[in-house]
Each structure stands twice: as C-alpha cells, then as structure tokens.
Amino acid sequence: MRRQTDGGVIPYERLSRLAKVRRFVRRNPTMVAGALLLVFMVLLAVFAPYLRTVNPVDMNPVERLRAPIAAHWFGTDMYGRDSYSRVIYGARISLFVGLVVAAITSVVGLAIGLVSGFVRKLDNVIMRVMDGIMALPDLLLAISFVALTKASVRNVIIALVIPQTPRVVRLVRSIVLTLREQPFIEAATAMGARVPRIMVCHLLPNTLAALIVQGTYVMASAVLIEAGLSFLGAGTPPEIPSWGNIMAEARSYVRVAFWLLLFPGLFLAVTVLSINLVGDGLRDMLDPRIAKRMR
Amino acid sequence: MLIYTIKRVLAALPVLGIVVVFVFLLVRLAPGDPATILAGDYATPENIQKIRTGLGLDRPIHVQFAIYAGNLLRGDLGKSLHSQMPVGQLILQRIEPTVALALSTLLFAVLTAVPLGVLAAWRAGSLVDRAVMVIAVGGFSVPIFWLGFLLIYLFSVKLDLLPVQGYVSFREGIVPFVRHLILPTIALGLVYTALLARITRASLLEVLQSDYIRTANAKGIAPAAVLFSHALKNAAVPVVTTIGIGFALLIGGVVITESVFALPGLGRLTVDAILQRDYSIIQGVTLIFSFSYALVNLLVDLSYTLFDPRIRY
C-alpha cells in the first residue's frame, strides 16, 4: 500500500541522501518502526551486562515479590531476583536462538531446495519427506525432540530447525522450478555448465531475496516457539533466564505478582512483532509474484 | 467424486507412513540411549536392561519397526512407561477437552476473521482496513501463553467475570462448560483469526477486481448482493485452504493453552509426559495430532467442490 505522495517531480537519483531516507521512511513506516524496535532489542541483548542493575541470578530473599519500584523497574521475583535484569538477559537467548535457527534453516533449506527443484529424480522423494515433516505440528516435533534429548540451547536449536526447514525447501524449490525453464539456464546448460555450477552461480543468486524474507519469518517463529518450549519445560535449561523460563517460573503468581509475567511477555511480543514487521516490509519490496508464495 | 476421494486418501497414506517412520526414528536416532534416559539418573544397570528389553531396543532396528508398525495397524499405541496404562486408553480419557477447545477455537476464528477480512477488503485502504491489518500482524506476534495470562488477570482476577482455570464437561451443564472455554478460546484463537483475516482480505480483494464483479456492479445489482453472493463464495477456496494449514498452529497452541488454563486434555497429557520423560505417550499423542492434521486437510480438499462447482474431480 505504497502511496505516491512525492509525485516523482525530482528524479530519485537527484534526491539528497537525507531526502532518500525521508522518502523511504514515509513509504515504509511500519517496516522502519519494526527495524528500530529490533535494533533496540539487539542493543539490549548485546549490552545487557552494562544495562543490568544487579546480577540476574543473584537471589535476595528479603526483597522477594516486590512490585515495580525505582530500584527494581520490573519488580522482583519469588527469590528476590531483579526482574528487569533478568528480562534484558532474556533478550540474549531469544535473539541468539532466533538468529541461529534462521541462519541454519536458510542454508539447509536452500541446499535441499536447489537439489529438489533442479534434480528431477530426487524431487519426489525429497518432497514426500518434507510433507511428512510438515504433517508433524512444529511445536510437538520440537517437544518430542527436546524431551528425548537433554534440555540445552543446542538441542532447542536442532528441534526448531527440523520443523522449519521444509518451509524454506518448498519456497526455494518453487522458485527454482520457474527459473529452470528460463533461457539463461538453458544457455548455461548449452554452454556445458555442470549441474553444481548452474545451481550455485545461476539459481542460487535468484533465490536470495525471497530466502532473506522467509528467513525473517523463520526467525519470528523460532523466537516464539523457543519461548513456548521453555514455558512448557522443554526448552532452554531452567537456570538460564530466557523469557519462556521466567514466565514458567512466575506462572503460579498471576494473582500476587502479575508484573513477573507482564514484562517478559511484553518484550517477547515486541521482539516478534518487530521481526514480523521487517519481514513484511522486505516482502512488499520484493517481486509480488514471489511474495505471494510466502507465509 | 468418490473416485477422487479414494485417490486422495491413497495419496495421503505415504505421508502418514513417513510420519510413522519419523516418529519411530525420533526416539532411536536421538543422541544417547533412550533406555538410559528413560530410566532416570538413579537407575541400576538391571533397570536399564529391563527397560531396553521392554521396549524391544535390543533387537535389530528393522525388526523394531515391524513390531511398532504392526501394533499401530492393530490400533495399539503401546503402553505408558510410567503407569503401564495403554496409551490409546489414556488418549481417549483426555480427548474431550481438547476437541472442545479445538472446535470452539475454530468457530471463534472463522466467525471473527471472515467478517473482519471482508470488512477490510470492502473498505480497502480505509482506517478499518488498517486496524484489521494491525490486528493481523499483532496476532502473529503475541505469544499464546502471555495473552492467556493477560486475559486471566483482566477477566478473572481483576474483574472476576470468568473462571480462572479448569474445565467442566458439557455433560455437567452448558453454561459452566462455555464459561470455562471462553478465555482459552480467545487466547488460542487470536493467531488463527489473524491468519484467516489476512487471507480473507487478500482473497476477496483479488476477486473484487475481477471482470465479473465489474459486470455485476454495472448491471446495477445491489453492492451487498455483489459482495455476498458473487464475491464471497469465489473468495472462499483460499480461505478454506488456510483453515486447513492453520490447523497446525492450533495443535501446537492447544498444548500451550491447556497448560496455561489447566485444561485436562491431550496437551496436558503431553506436558506431563515431557516432565516424566514418558516417551510412548509423546509418540502416541504426536501421531494422533499428525493424523488429525492430515484428516482435516483431506476434508478441506474435498470441500472445495462445495464452494466452487467448477472444481471437479
């Protein structure tokens, strides 16, 4: 829903840098807002050791279950730990898990999708396996995996990569299927380029834009599901202050200490929202025909 | 139609087969010995050996799979590792709240999302449209368990309008049954509503730009009639498809929602099984959920003819 408010009087190239930025912000307000929020969360996560007021794992029984006050912005929990410090440390786990899952899923999904789309003999087998994985609800698959292995950040990441990969595979494959019929691929084949070269040099660069957008959606899901897993007790180990863990511990205090649930959940929701807004903005900039296949 | 139904069912079978293999392999391929993990930290070697023999883990893997698949075909999902109760029976005991929650959520999502989506598409670009899209993006971002606690805090703790947690069977009275389901339904339904509203809007917008809608308008048919009897039905197919795809969101969400609202359903069974590392229950529930997902999507495929008679099989 981009409105042509500028009228195009001055050619884009002649605009000053500031004018270009202003025009971008005006045309993509939600995306810019999302990006700013995301940057804010990343800064919180990176500088958590400097921003915290006390050590997030320090217990202080005298100060337990304090409502938010000047010394404890977000109050304290049942062990007297400072909720604000714990919440900003929680950003580290969520964003780390989200980023790593998005990166691994994109690379693995890209590789499988390229092969599936271009090597017809393998396509059917690969896609049936992907259908099978997609038929397993992602949260349940992740729960089963973490329940069987030990709760650790590494296992949570594996548990999230498995159900997310088919989404990327399907997208990459669908793009490759349309690309492979185009003259430039035919030309490359006619010139004697081998299959791996065609995949890496000709097909891969054409999937990247869509892949980045899908990557943001994968990241948003990963952050949400990681919190859900931790909340259910099948996520990051309980001693790590992740948002899901903080809320799992606080769940029986809904009546007496609602702030313990309010703030971590708020940060989680804002983080996921910001990633989704950036993803939607990037998608709208893409070729609309490709954008349709996403989500 | 009958032939198509049979074909479609047959086409779904390999996927179900892969699901079974996957669920089977998950326990075998995971790092570490399942028997040792299941036995816990204080197990004696004899205990571990007993569990291993009990699970048939000492046999070759293809024999294990044959036994597992054979039992499944007879409807035997195995026994709980802790209570020794048949998993099938445990699932039957817990299925009612889950089905009730899933159906009420489906109903809630469709009844809110379709009108919202229609409104947004009909007044595209307006403030209403923007508001609906904000709800749609927000719905994707709000964690179910957080929303659940917000609702509990607001409506149960502060306003004291609705029960905090728990489940009452419809056999014990419709009013308490409904009252206990309202908050879980909203918490679980928001993400589904977001998804469906978005698709309804997009699908209807596309239809509204087509030639036959312009023709209908040009003939002077009342705008409401154009919208409801010409446009909406043609926009239905992608929406119905999304109901099927979104069912996966619902299944994952059920587990979390039941945990937040203390509903004694399949989700709670799963969470309790996680805490006890009762893997046969997790396996059984995963299979049941996956099969129901496949079934819902099968029904969705078959329902297309209802909305679009041009689709023939």
- Residue A295: both structure tokens together: 């989500």
List, for residues B118-138, the tens digit of each pLDDT value: 888 888 778 888 888 888 888
Across residues A65-92, what is the average pLDDT? 74
The backbone region for A149, taken as left when phi is positive above 0, alpha when psi lies in -120 to 50, beta otherwise, is beta
Arithmetic mean of pLDDT, A12-34: 80
Find residues 200-259 of chain B whose CB sits inside 8 Å of chain A: 248, 251-253, 255-256, 259
What pLDDT does B40 receive?
67
Give chain B positions within 8 Å (CB) of A143: 255, 270, 274, 282
Question: Closest Cα partner for A272 from A92, A38, A64?
Answer: A38
**Residue with structure tokens 């190239």?**
A13
- C-alpha A226/C-alpha B173 separation (Å) is 38
B266 to chain A: closest CA residue: A140
The strand pairing partners of B86, in sequence order, are B79
pLDDT score, position B169: 78
pLDDT (average), residues B293-303: 81
Of A253, A260, A232, A255, give the one whose Cα is nearest residue A244: A232
CB-based burial label for B1 (10 Å; 0-12, 13-18, 19+): exposed
Where is average pLDDT lowest: A62-76, B98-112, B116-130? A62-76
A-contacting residues in B 150-169 (Cβ below 8 Å): 150, 152-153, 157, 164
At A2, is the pLDDT very low, low, confident or very high (cuts 50, 70, 90)? very low
Interface size between A and B, measured as CB pairs under 8 A: 148
**Dist. CA B182–CA B186, nearest whole Å:** 6
Please give the biggest Cα pair distance in chain A: 78
Mean pLDDT of chain B, nearest integer: 82
| pLDDT (0 to 100) of residue A112 | 93
Quote the minimal CA–CA distance from A108 to chain B in Å.
19
* pLDDT given for residue A70 in this prediction: 64
The beta-carbon neighbor of A128 closest among B18, B23, B146 is B18
Residues belonging to chain B: 313
Low-confidence winner among A164-173, A251-260, B132-141, B283-292 (lowest mean pLDDT): A251-260
B 75-114 → A contacts, CB under 8 A: none
- Average pLDDT value for residue range A105-131: 88
- Give the mean model confidence (pLDDT) for residues B197-208: 86
Q: Is B12 helix (H, G, I), strand (E, B) or coil?
A: helix
The minimum CA-CA distance between A259 and chain B, rounded to whole Å, is 10
| Under 8 Å between Cβ of B26 and B284 | no
The pair of structure tokens assigned to B19 is: 């699901």
Dist CA B170 CA B167 (whole Å): 9
Question: Which among A1-10, A151-160, B101-110, B298-307 has the top mean pLDDT?
Answer: B101-110
Distance CA B259, CA B143 (A): 13
Residue A121 has pLDDT above 70, yes or no: yes
More confident residue, A249 or A295: A249
C-alpha to C-alpha distance for B268 and B256, rounded to whole angstroms: 8
Q: Which two tokens stand for residue A102?
A: 């998005």
| Contact between B144 and A268 (Cβ < 8 Å) | no
What DSSP element (H or E) covers B29?
A: helix B2-29
pLDDT at residue A1, rounded to an integer? 44
The whole-angstrom separation of Cα A263 and Cα A87 is 7
Chain A partners within 8 Å of B256 (Cβ)? 139, 228, 231-232
Across A211-215, average pLDDT:
89
Question: CB B289 to CB A140 under 8 A?
Answer: yes
Per-residue pLDDT reduced to its tens digit, B253-281: 888 899 888 888 888 888 888 777 777 88
- Rounded Cα distance, B250 and B268, in Å: 15
Determine the angle formed by the axes of helices A243-250 and A83-118, rounding to 10 degrees: 130
Candidate from A137, A227, A234 with C-beta closest to B274: A234
Contacts of B290 in chain A (CB under 8 A): 135-137, 140
pLDDT higher than threshold 80 for residue B104: yes
Lowest-confidence segment of A266-270, B61-65, B204-208 by average pLDDT: B61-65
Q: What is the pLDDT of residue A109?
A: 93
What does the block give as tokens for A115? 């092969």
- Give me the mean pLDDT over the A76-96 stretch: 80
List all residues 6 or more positions away from A5 whose beta carbon is below 8 Å from its beta carbon: A26
d(CA B97, CA B181): 9
Does the pLDDT at position A134 exceed 90?
A: no
Whether residues B274 and A147 touch (CB distance < 8 A) is answered with yes
Residue A174 has pLDDT above 80, yes or no: yes
pLDDT above 60: residue A294: no
Residue A8 is predicted with a pLDDT of 52
Of the listed ranges A49-63, A113-127, A190-204, the one predicted with least confidence: A49-63
B197 lies within 8 A of chain A by CB: no
Query: In this structure, how many other beta carbons lie within 10 angstroms of the beta carbon of residue A186?
Result: 11
Q: Which residue in B141, B157, B248 is closest to A269 by CB distance?
A: B141
Q: Which two tokens stand for residue B36?
A: 């040792």
Percentage of chain A with pLDDT > 70? 85
Q: How far apart are CA B41 and CA A188, in angstroms?
A: 59
- Bridge partners of B260, per DSSP, are none
pLDDT at B302 over 90: no
Q: Is the pLDDT of residue B301 over 60?
A: yes
Q: Using CA atoms, how far apart are residues A59 and A234, in angstroms rounded to an integer?
A: 24
Q: What integer pLDDT is reported at residue B207 of this predicted model?
A: 85
User: To which residue do tokens 């009612």 refer?
Assistant: B96
pLDDT tens for each residue of B22-76: 888 876 666 556 676 666 667 777 777 777 777 677 777 788 888 888 888 887 7
The per-residue pLDDT for A9 is: 63
Per the CB < 8 Å rule, is B256 touching A234? no
Q: Is residue B312 predicted with pLDDT exceeding 70?
A: no
Q: Is A54 exposed, middle or buried (0-12, 13-18, 19+ CB in 10 A)?
A: middle
For A30-39, A130-139, B247-256, B258-267, which range has the lowest pLDDT when averaged over its residues?
A: A130-139
Query: What is the C-alpha separation between B144 and B112, in angstroms, rounded?
Result: 17
The answer to pTM > 0.80 is yes
Lowest-confidence pick of A3-7, B141-145, B191-195, B233-237: A3-7
A71 pLDDT tier (thresholds 50, 70, 90) = low
Whether A133 and B22 lie within 8 Å, measured CB to CB: yes
